[in-house]
Structure 1
Amino acid sequence: MPTYEYQCDSCGTFDLLRPIAQRDASCNCPICCREAHRVIASAPALSAISATARKAHATNERASHAPMTSGEYRAYKHPPGCGCCSSTGSKATVRAADGAKGFPTKRPWMISH
């Protein structure tokens, strides 16, 4: 249920959790029990949204045609353990004493990227 603001003539504004169907109906003040009418006194409390919810909203709002950022692109460029992207190198690559690369586990007709 959403929270709405109401104005009591003697006590001031207060928030009340009510169903949407009852949002415009007046209610009793929780302090003095007088009739209070609905008002819009402040902006929505968007800063109270958790970081996880804010990230989910941003993901949902991003256009599907928006280009990927460099970090997102780098994740899709090569598979994990790729010799050109990681500092450890590929486990399938073997170097000879003269520095030549060999791929003993690969097929000899395969071309590496």
Structure 2
Amino acid sequence: MPVYDYKCADHGLFYELAAMEDSSKPMACPTCATLCARVIMLAPEFLDMKKENRFAHQRNETAVHAPVLSTPEYRAEQKARREHKHGKGCGCGDKPIRKSNLLFTAEGNKMFPSMRPWMISH
């Protein structure tokens, strides 16, 4: 038989053994004997989880009830969101990557034509 969590309004949480078919039934508080509803507590490993994983679980839970279907309209909306909206020189990383001027000699030494000779790479 599993242990279920119950919460009394006056005395707080308590734990009781109950059969699985009785899991939804209220249980009497051991202190005041009032019937108390079952509560579902958060799993401790969920609290210790990395923030990124916790957000992924939260996103998956919301997607269970309202899944996003990949339709042409949805894809067009996502593409519009990805479009660059900043001005020139915003520094967001949308610039093309320059080709390096690094060359290697036959001996394996590095050579930087038209670059500053005092800059030595590691």
| TM-score > 0.5 by shorter chain | no
**Higher helix content, 1 or 2:** 2
State the TM-score, normalizing by the size of structure 2. 0.34
State the TM-score, normalizing by the size of structure 1. 0.37
